[in-house]
Structure 1
């Protein structure tokens, strides 16, 4: 296989709503370039891209699939992504390594709900983007409406490169960059090139002039040429269009029929000649803040954007060469864990097909097999020349459920399988809740959960049960309280004796030291579950020997691990041990630990104990006309609305919501808004539970 240099490698990612035709477009591009001799279809379950069994069962793209095509001395790496934001991890990891984003629309619908949801993430990456309006030959195609919807999404910077017409009943595409018409046979393929018809000349010239002006605006030299000549030639326009794409000031719009192979060759030609390559993009900063050198002779670094576990192969690791070159048998260091990995094999991947290569250069995308210590989001670098690429920040789960194996014998097997799934897809999260003794699975939605379940059953042979996660509450106090406890036990021989007097108070950051005590020592304990314990030694006159103080604190901490209200962790308390008694023979550590535990528990129950619940900071992006019903639903979930701001045709609502009220919210929001709203959440703080809710929880 030919090895291409960085100037002749283009990396594009296909994004767009479900059924926009991304998989069909990628299949047609491979066919048009002669890399496959027969086009598969999604319906026939034989496309290069959707090769996984679960994708063929569902008829949907679930995993991002790297492919490649070669067109006129350029290599185009294509990543075909899912069209549902439940699989957003696959989409954003692909965008991370792409140089140009190709947003595919169905000409029947234009910008759909799915397009809008995915665009929320596309917009954050600020990468060159072009739009492809697909299915232009469909009876219900609406090109102009589709273009207007693009303009609503990106503003006046959307510019037509092409628009469709029919001549003598045959599908044609007017190209206003080349000022030609491409006329296609019903079977598609190579078009006939024609002059622009008289009835289209005025419109085509108007659009051409708009494109010239847009191209000139993005380069000072071109702007001068434009003022001087009044126009630009095709090469000058290409230069200006590329500059506009790099600045996100110009979004070219193309039209194709991927199913009938119309316009795909021209699209590939534009990607070759105009779309930016990796070395055209702004230099990327590493974790250390240094600028990454995108050159062939720079130290080697690879960014792992995807891993896939194949039953017969093991782990396939997909990467982009971010700098330098990679060759077979090269040894690299994992920047995350310091482990050494040897690249024994190098491949160009087209779905499940692998083509071996001897090396890959900066900007290229490839794969290797059976790395031991590397997972998605890791950087591999040359030994002695550390480089760590900024990792992808994946969204927090929107759906959480407890998970257990149906057969208890599979518990360990389940944990191992979930770990592998997480390494493959970091948007699947696994946490063991120590308090509730539950394994908590986090996903992006019900469809995402269904795929995880499919993988568990079909690839790992595990049947699982799912449930509602128990909420991890915290307990604290609202006022001060004192207590004392005498522990005395005689059992023949040495007995047990200890008496402890203590005072407890609520603690908060910045409060003054306790008054009325002779403080001889202070220990500040950062609790593993959050919050603090402040432990004061206020003993005077040696009534308790200092050697027993660690045992007293241990007794207090043991109670704090299982609070008296709901067996939840206790936090944010300060304890002053100020008096007590000991016995020269019968006192020991265990005695003082028991006495301290009883005294602390009694004081806690008399200090107006309060239950705290975890709350989430929720951000909901919802169409303007649906904001009322969404707010009503959130208020019914005990949410505190922090504010609302407008963003285009959407309202962005921020609120604080108890975690206990968010179970099922993903499904509820989708139902309320017909799937048009999206949300994300992150932990906010522990807040007091309302009295009526606390009574119910304590009773339970």
Structure 2
């Protein structure tokens, strides 16, 4: 392969709903560029993308796959991404290193949930969009309806560059209103005849051409003046205006294809080569440390790793984008995170499982290497002198969590080893061992995402694992003051143990001051505040420890032991064993023994006095509440609202966004298990949602009673 300069490179992502034909489109683009001599089919398991066993078994993309084609002396790097929102990590990482997203739409189904979700990810990364209406040869394909849906969802920026004459099984003809030509293809696709637009289509084509000229002219004052002077623009002037509009995300061109028959692909590639931005026109990623280079081959070399993959017989493959300079075989660079040296022993251009060795890659190009020691996704390699570090990719928050347990306890260690590697291949898996819940948790983007992981346990690692519902990380607190004392006394020959602690506890609210008087029944208790310690808790909330001892009833050297005993009980609350929080404790009296008092005695006395007081202080269980945003089709709004009400949701607001109805709510975590599956069922796969932790709130009385009974039963079993 020749060495392509930055201006000769285009980087594109194929995004869109599952089933829109992204992988077939990628196949056609590689065929048109001569990278492959025969187009494969997804159903035949012989496409360049979707080559892994799981993708061939599932029949859809699971990973993002870097590819390339060559067209008119330009290298087009293509990243084919998964269409299911559960697998959005591949979409987000790809959009972070490409300069144009081809939004592929099945013209039979129109705008689907995955279309809208992919559009949001492109908006978050400020990536220009080009719409590809695919599968126009299907019986029920409808260009006009699909176009209207796109305008309703993405706005008036969606602009026709091409439209079909005969959408349906006989589809073979496209009107191009930029070229003002008609492309007529053979029945089974291939090279088209380029003809004049027939009289029957001239009026529509000229109207759309004028709309396109206006939108192109709007992007630069000089072009607008030309348009006013001449009433039109030349094709070159339109190209300039369209490129500026695309870069500013003010213009989303629409193209027509039937990727399976190779209809419209060459013209699409021609447009990408002529008008899509080159890497230096989009600019470089944000630099968070070290020198900030330009995207130029003369700059010091640096690269950003956006994907790590593992293949049998090859090992770890590191996919990167060259951000500056020139990358060559044998080059030594430094990892800006670990500060370790890495040698690029080989450099490749990647086309799925096929990798072509190259002499060098310049700024803006995408490639891969193998056998790096410690460099993973989201890391930067640069010269030691420059120390450049690029901003890491921000991935969507996880939406579904399961606890993972090996079927055989002897496999526990193997399960941990597998999971520790998984997060490098797919960073949207978040792995944690919860000390609080005593469970190994895997957070993923949805149930499908976690089923992919299960497939690997079953088929690759041959380890039986079960997914179980995770426990809920409840918290315990109190609602009123309470008083208690406890004497710990033990005598068993020799030195004994003695410690007595008198304390008061009360609810703590941020900013409140310690009290100096409490009343319990008819008895008042004065408090002398001598010392106040504020202890933020790792699990949220605070413990405020107030030393109110007067007269030396407890020596100051025993106060840390009392605090330790209380803290131990805070870690295992008296109600359900959950963490306790937001409590102020006053140690106001006690007794010592000149011989038998020691730290262990006061630790146990403090712990037990705290436990007794806690149970008398109106104890309450707190549950985690999440902010939920749901986008649903209007015809399924009622079903989704009813389901949320059944989940104890509090609806916070409703509105419309991108052609969908949006519901904002607060929902208890306990009620959100497998919500992704339920929402998909209720909306026919069209609903999507985001979720994030908000706060802890008191559970209703009936729920607390259920939790207390369950905990008691669990304790009896143990």
Same fold (TM over 0.5): yes
**1:464-483 mapped onto 2 (5 Å cutoff):** 464-483=465-484
Bigger mean CA deviation after superposition, 170-179 or 535-544:
170-179
Q: Deviations over 1:364-391 (max 9, x none)?
A: 1111112232222223332132333222
Verify the 8 A CA contact 1:502 1:599 in the aligned structure 2: yes
Shift of 1:288: 5.6
Q: Deviations over 1:91-141 (max 9, x none)?
A: 111111110010112222322333223223223222211111122333433
2:519 alignment counterpart: none
Q: Deviations over 1:334-365 (max 9, x none)?
A: 33444433222211110001111232111111
Bigger mean CA deviation after superposition, 382-391 or 301-310:
382-391
2:77 alignment counterpart: 77
Which of the residues 638, 642, 645 maps onto 1:628? 638
1:407 alignment counterpart: 408
Verify the 8 A CA contact 1:476 1:612 in the aligned structure 2: yes
Verify the 8 A CA contact 2:153 2:659 in the aligned structure 1: no
Shift of 1:291: 6.4
Give the ranges of 4+ consecutive aligned residues of structure 1 lying more than 4 Å apart after TM superposition. Answer: 288-292
Q: Deviations over 1:214-243 (max 9, x none)?
A: 111111111111112222111111101101
2:660 alignment counterpart: 650
User: Structure 1-normalised TM-score?
Assistant: 0.96
2:689 alignment counterpart: 679
1:570 alignment counterpart: 580
Q: Deviations over 1:178-206 (max 9, x none)?
A: 22222222232222222222322332222
| Aligned-partner Cα distance in 2 for 1:77–1:477 | 60
Distance 1:340 1:617, change over 3 A: farther
1:18 alignment counterpart: 18
**1:29-68 mapped onto 2 (5 Å cutoff):** 29-68=29-68
1:550 alignment counterpart: 560
SS in 2 for 1:524: strand
2:302 alignment counterpart: 301
| Aligned-partner Cα distance in 2 for 1:601–1:170 | 77
Bigger mean CA deviation after superposition, 330-339 or 686-695:
330-339
Verify the 8 A CA contact 1:328 1:343 in the aligned structure 2: yes
1:660 alignment counterpart: 670
Verify the 8 A CA contact 2:93 2:393 in the aligned structure 1: yes
Verify the 8 A CA contact 2:288 2:391 in the aligned structure 1: yes
2:327 alignment counterpart: 326
Verify the 8 A CA contact 1:284 1:292 in the aligned structure 2: no
Verify the 8 A CA contact 1:294 1:323 in the aligned structure 2: yes
**1:253-332 mapped onto 2 (5 Å cutoff):** 253-282=254-283, 284-287=285-288, 293-332=294-333
| Aligned-partner Cα distance in 1 for 2:137–2:504 | 81
Bigger mean CA deviation after superposition, 357-366 or 190-199:
190-199
Q: Deviations over 1:474-505 (max 9, x none)?
A: 11111111211111111111111111111111
SS in 1 for 2:287: coil
| Aligned-partner Cα distance in 1 for 2:139–2:665 | 45
2:101 alignment counterpart: 101
1:217 alignment counterpart: 218
| Aligned-partner Cα distance in 1 for 2:470–2:20 | 36
Shift of 1:170: 7.8
2:707 alignment counterpart: 697
Asked if 1:145 corresponds to 2:140, the answer is no
1:89 alignment counterpart: 89
2:715 alignment counterpart: none
1:133 alignment counterpart: 133
SS in 1 for 2:390: coil
| Aligned-partner Cα distance in 2 for 1:171–1:377 | 44
| Aligned-partner Cα distance in 1 for 2:543–2:623 | 19
Shift of 1:289: 11
Q: Deviations over 1:147-177 (max 9, x none)?
A: 222222222222221222369x782222221
Shift of 1:283: 5.2
1:613 alignment counterpart: 623
Shift of 1:83: 1.6
Distance 1:490 1:656, change over 3 A: same
Verify the 8 A CA contact 1:25 1:258 in the aligned structure 2: yes
SS in 2 for 1:14: strand
Verify the 8 A CA contact 1:170 1:183 in the aligned structure 2: no
Verify the 8 A CA contact 1:346 1:366 in the aligned structure 2: yes
Shift of 1:5: 1.1
Asked if 1:637 corresponds to 2:638, the answer is no
Shift of 1:542: 1.8
Bigger mean CA deviation after superposition, 198-207 or 27-36:
198-207
SS in 2 for 1:696: helix
| Aligned-partner Cα distance in 1 for 2:42–2:371 | 30
Distance 1:172 1:402, change over 3 A: same
Verify the 8 A CA contact 1:32 1:189 in the aligned structure 2: no
Aligned-residue RMSD, C-alpha:
1.9
Bigger mean CA deviation after superposition, 245-254 or 144-153:
144-153
| Aligned-partner Cα distance in 1 for 2:120–2:129 | 14
Q: Deviations over 1:274-307 (max 9, x none)?
A: 0111111255433369966322233433222111
Verify the 8 A CA contact 2:184 2:194 in the aligned structure 1: yes
2:590 alignment counterpart: 580
Which of the residues 509, 529, 545 maps onto 1:535? 545
**Number of residue pairs aligned between Structure 1 and Structure 2:** 699
Bigger mean CA deviation after superposition, 569-578 or 233-242:
569-578
Q: Deviations over 1:247-273 (max 9, x none)?
A: 111111111221111211111111001
Bigger mean CA deviation after superposition, 371-380 or 315-324:
371-380
1:600 alignment counterpart: 610
Verify the 8 A CA contact 2:283 2:295 in the aligned structure 1: no
1:247 alignment counterpart: 248
Verify the 8 A CA contact 2:164 2:171 in the aligned structure 1: no
**1:500-539 mapped onto 2 (5 Å cutoff):** 500-515=501-516, 516-539=526-549
Verify the 8 A CA contact 1:488 1:497 in the aligned structure 2: yes
| Aligned-partner Cα distance in 2 for 1:237–1:613 | 58
1:118 alignment counterpart: 118
Asked if 1:163 corresponds to 2:163, the answer is yes
1:195 alignment counterpart: 196
Asked if 1:344 corresponds to 2:345, the answer is yes
2:209 alignment counterpart: 208
User: Structure 2-normalised TM-score?
Assistant: 0.94
Any unmatched runs of 5+ in structure 2?
517-525, 711-718
Q: Deviations over 1:534-588 (max 9, x none)?
A: 1122222222221111111111111111111111111111111121111221111
| Aligned-partner Cα distance in 1 for 2:595–2:45 | 82
SS in 2 for 1:397: coil
Distance 1:136 1:598, change over 3 A: closer
| Aligned-partner Cα distance in 2 for 1:186–1:420 | 49
Shift of 1:664: 1.9
Distance 1:474 1:140, change over 3 A: closer
SS in 2 for 1:603: helix
Verify the 8 A CA contact 1:321 1:360 in the aligned structure 2: yes
1:433 alignment counterpart: 434
Verify the 8 A CA contact 2:309 2:317 in the aligned structure 1: yes
Shift of 1:404: 0.8
Any unmatched runs of 5+ in structure 1?
none
Q: Deviations over 1:583-633 (max 9, x none)?
A: 221111111111111111111111111111111111111223322222221
SS in 2 for 1:43: helix
